[in-house]
Structure 1
Amino acid sequence: MTGWNERLIAIKILNRFEKDKKLKEHIEKFTSRLHPQDRAFIREIVSGTVRFLRLLDFSIEKATGKNLKRQKNTVRNSLRVIAYQIFFTNVPPYAALNETVEAVKKILGKKAAGFVNAISKKIIGFDYKKEIERISDYFERLSILYSFETWMVKRWSNFYGKEEIEKLLKGLNRVAPLFIRVNTIKISQQELLNLLEKTKIDAEPHPFIPYMIRIKGRVPIESIPGYKEGFFYIQDPASFLSAYLLDPKQGEIILDVGAAPGGKTTALSSLTIDKARIIAVDINKERMKLLKNNLKRLGISNVELVLTDIQKDKNFIEKHENSFDKILIDAPCSATGVIRRHPEGKWNKSLKLIKYNQTIQRNLLSSCYKLLKPGGVLLYSVCSLEKEEGEDILKFAQEIGFKESSLYNLPELLKSFAKKHFLRVFPHKNNMDGFFYSKFEK
């Protein structure tokens, strides 16, 4: 239970978040030099506050009678931090209150701190569930309780049914488990498990997806044995499935579109023991640097990096037309399927964004059709829950010439979730990020 300084940093991060709806960059900037324990505490407070933002605001306003929009950002976010600790952590309420009030004093002075101290006491003991039950509208009630935009909840209820919606919201609110993918170029899964056991890291293999290991408890990534040596890559099983379902083979020429920062590229390399020729394409220069570093750490040499946008790069299309045995498109998308990892995703989405991404996804498929060999295979994936970015793409793919291809190497326990040549996985059903996959042939 750290002190006022960690809460001060959390408030500053939340102040930045309010301006641009970004989180990861601000957390890294403010915590990179801190002790791992302090860093973890701040990350939990900030991520949790953002995850339950709508519920916290509702509760604070009901409990205190204050309009949060009229408050200074530091006051507003200090109240949110206090409410989150009281509702969702084991921090004693008065410790949460006193330490946060002290942080406000350091930023704004005694008067503001006294104001926060006085009104935040009303949050202690507030029964938000009882207050939410009074809301008559079903979707509004769900949206506040699980802290989502109402339009998102209505859409998902329409897509997946009323019987599923509450389970889905609960799944998206759970903190995602930590999984690592074994880099088989350097080590076997059993050897890595033995290494983890020797160093007292509690871990277990994924129950039905190969090469995946779950790390139990809270462990700083850098302290996991084998990190520096490149024995593993941090990756959710759903992300790994994109590469696994493509079924890459040694000697094949493979294109990875939207490759950076390298989770799927390095998975393709690992699955082929670095004996396939992989061309990794991305448009983001900074993320490509991360991919380059990951290739080096993992000991991968058979990957060619190309910084380009294949939607517009006619030279690339002409050079590689009908060249690739297999293509993996990890398409830009709304990323609603990874909200449990990136809670800021609750507040920076829109229907406009979803439609915009759909246009890019279609353009990428059109470009990749030209690049794929006759008889070649393409795997399309998005970390999205939206039908426009998943099922609706299938018809377009067939209109431009793609044929359905079987997901023949699907793990046994996922077969019941697949429909023909596509698959959706969910946090609440499969304990992995929300992903959509579809496989095509030319």
Structure 2
Amino acid sequence: MSSKVIVLLLIVLSFRGGDTLLSGVENRKHIARLNDQDPLVGECISLTTDDNHSLQKIIRAIVNGEWHRVQLVLQLASESCTAEMRRGVYEALWIEWQQDKHIYNPLKILDFYKQLENESNVPKTLMEKIYQAFIARFAQLLSAPFHTDSRTSDFPQVTKLLSQLKESPQKYTRDIFETLFDDVLSLESSLSVAQRLGNFNASLEQLAMANLQFLNRSEILVNPSAHAVLLDNVCQLMKQPNFHHEVERFLLHEVYKLLPSKIYLLFIAQKVCLRKADNDKEYIYECSGSSNMCTNQRYEEQASLTVQHQISDVDNKTQFAFYNRYWNNHYLGIEDSIRGQPGVTKNVGGRVEIYWLNVVPVEKGVAIYDAATSSSVICGGDPAQWNQYYHYAYTRRAEDFDEHRKDCTWIIEDCSTLIEY
């Protein structure tokens, strides 16, 4: 429909007084005739009006409940000669749009918002108003699970909405959660909301985002019980098999920062080095000409380790494996046949097969145990275990750790910048 044709429609409706609109049937016939007109290029609408109510009725007649005709109204706005007219058309369109049942569906509001985003002259204040309507309605629908005492109740509409939101920018999700928390905290306790988040049915990324946002709110900073529940929620998320694949990297880093500082590098660093806690020049890597592990001064290729991790099926804890291409892709491991022998055993070496270890935060660093039995802890630095220049690493019994903390405590360093061999 050309601008001149739209002007004709506006004039016709204006002559009718603005209060008596054409009937639905007449509207459809009239617009059908208008649609058959040839477009007139280069025309400019200069109509001005202070009567937004009349303008709203005019737009209602153009659309007539068929919202695919919104494009005609947008054309009317874009061809208006004055900013006042454009603003009036857009605002009247939004007022009219709210009369439709679409206003109850946040995704329909979002569609309308995106449609207006493609227009260059929509007032920013109006765009913000529509965006906030989308956020508020979405948050309102998501609030239902937080107002029930049941942790097993199913809310299929909430699940469906969150699933449809996954493809939208993260900003939308963050703003929705922030409004959601504002709303539910006016009626529910921080602890109750934290507990409900533990049973919220959403994607792993959305759940990570929600728990992180809630952790940063002032209400949580003064509520240790709610804080503990949220940390447990995050720990449970991390144990999900696909967590590290489904959550984007920046968000993963934020989650890992909640871990003890001594081990979070195992999740975010591309490479790490394991250094003795009591000697800043002793790092663990394969001995020269041997598959045994030694502790020596750091050499870039030898000392840098790539980390893998998995969730144990037995105890649901995170296990780690360390390998280095310089060692012919050998993994840091313990020889099973002599593991757990009394005293000290020189059984730490490079293995072809992947070998899983438990890394446990301790005072001044971490302790590294075999994951299969947790009966042996990796140690180094005892001169009695050295053979000339081979400073062998070794294991002690796990129960002897406290007695030998000095040689069985390690520091994890970020070695991501080291040269790849």
> If the length of structure 1 is used for normalisation, what is the TM-score?
0.22
Largest Rg, 1 or 2:
2
